[in-house]
Amino acid sequence: MKIAILPGDGIGTEIIAEAVKVLKALDLTFEMETAPVGGAAYAAHGHPLPEATLELAKAADAVLFGAVGDFQYDKLERALRPEQAILGLRKELGLFANFRPAICYEELTHASSLKPELVAGLDILIIRELTGDIYFGQPRGRRTAVDGHFPGAEEAFDTMRYSRPEIERIAHVAFQAARKRGRKVLSVDKANVLETFQFWRDVVTEVHQAYPDVQLEHMYVDNAAMQLVKAPKNIDVLVTGNMFGDILSDEAAMLTGSIGMLPSASLNEKNQGLYEPSHGSAPDIAGKGIANPLATILSAAMMLRYSLGQPEAADRIERAVKKVLASGLRTVDIYSEGTKKVGTVEMGDAVVAAL
């Protein structure tokens, strides 16, 4: 089992170190190799996704990714910004299926900004299509407008597009995931306005024919944004396109009150995957030893389950995390009165001890 370790920027190195520690504490043998990515890679090699890093990721069974981004790189031209590393990895590895669970842990129910009864026991799985849509659609660019409201003016444009196979494969992923859970799929689109998403709705409905045991509902994205804060527990699996998925997954993450707890997985057709916490590089707290490593540790668990064929080891890590939470240890982001505040390393050590 070959794992590419890409820590990245900000708190990335600190949280990845804890996840690696947990992996090493399992009685399994991994081949792990570390490479620079994001701003760190730009600083060292002049590019956020150096060729050697990309090759390492391609050759691995799975990539464990920290986070990228730092204020100092914001002024760089787009192609050199840290974000290009994660977009490049998604594209080059064909990671079209992004799993973003939003789970509200019992002990953290009160950390949510919503009333406890709305989020207690919450368990949503967002499945975001990750290599299509307006994120990657061509053409895109800047030009002088020849029509529109201001002909002759400078304008910018991006292209929203989805092909039938792209929609079909993500729909299959969603229906199959729903079969292992609550057997409900909510497909989110903007079919009332956008042709791309009328097509999305049509194709998802067709794919559904093969899954009569799964319930399918369609919803416009504006309504879905509302339902997520009104009655989130009605949602089981939510499937949507790249951009709506970007936005709704952040909203769903906040329902749990603790983005520092949420893992994610991005898979391709060969089940090769990239695993990363749902949160970013948090440069404001980098180097302070206070970042919550649990999202990354739980991402490592997802990696064992989805790409490395080790579901028991994944269960073990998840049980250990629950045990640590039950024992009252908290990093600052999930701290509340009556619990014990610990740092990044102590939290990692506690998970290892609980294994």
With respect to ligand IPM, which residue has the nearer C-beta, 190 or 208? 190
Residue 184 is a catalytic residue: no
* Interface mask toward ligand IPM for 229-248; x: CB under 6 A: -----------------x--
Residue at shortest CB range from ligand IPM: 83
The amino acid occupying position 348 is: G
DSSP 355: -
If phi > 0 it is left, if psi is from -120 to 50 it is alpha, else beta; for residue 29 that is: beta
Please choose, out of 51-59, 79-87, 113-121, 285-293, the segment that lies near ligand IPM by the rule CB under 6 A.
Answer: 79-87
Cβ within 8 Å of residue 34, ≥6 positions away: 4, 5, 6, 7
CB of 78 to ligand IPM, least distance (A): 11
Of 58, 74, 222, 270, catalytic: 222
Residue 270 is a catalytic residue: no
Chain center to CA of 258: 14
Of 220, 246, 322, 335, catalytic: 246
Give the three-class secondary structure for 94: coil
Interacting residue with ligand IPM among 87, 145, 229, 355 (CB under 6 A) = 87
Please choose, out of 81-89, 219-227, 294-302, 329-337, the segment that lies near ligand IPM by the rule CB under 6 A.
Answer: 81-89
Q: Are strands 154-157 and 141-144 parallel, antiparallel or unpaired?
A: antiparallel
11 binds ligand IPM (CB under 6 A): no
Residue 105 is a catalytic residue: no
With respect to ligand IPM, which residue has the nearer C-beta, 202 or 246? 246
Q: Are strands 123-129 and 340-341 parallel, antiparallel or unpaired?
A: unpaired
User: Which residue is listed with tokens 């956008």?
Assistant: 194
Q: Are strands 123-129 and 237-240 parallel, antiparallel or unpaired?
A: parallel
CB of 343 to Mn ion, least distance (A): 26
86 binds ligand IPM (CB under 6 A): yes
Residue 250 is a catalytic residue: yes
CB of 309 to ligand IPM, least distance (A): 26
Q: Which of 338, 333, 229, 355 is nearest to 282 (CA)?
A: 333
Residue 190 is a catalytic residue: yes
The CA radius of gyration of the chain, in Å to the nearest whole number, is 20
Give the three-class secondary structure for 104: coil
Q: Which of 160, 170, 93 is nearest to 126 (CA)?
A: 170
CB of 76 to ligand IPM, least distance (A): 14
CB of 250 to Mn ion, least distance (A): 6
**Which residues are documented as binding site for substrate?**
90, 100, 128, 222
122 binds ligand IPM (CB under 6 A): no
Cβ within 8 Å of residue 117, ≥6 positions away: none
Site residues (vs ligand IPM, CB under 6 A): 83, 86-87, 246
What are the catalytic residues? 135, 190, 222, 246, 250
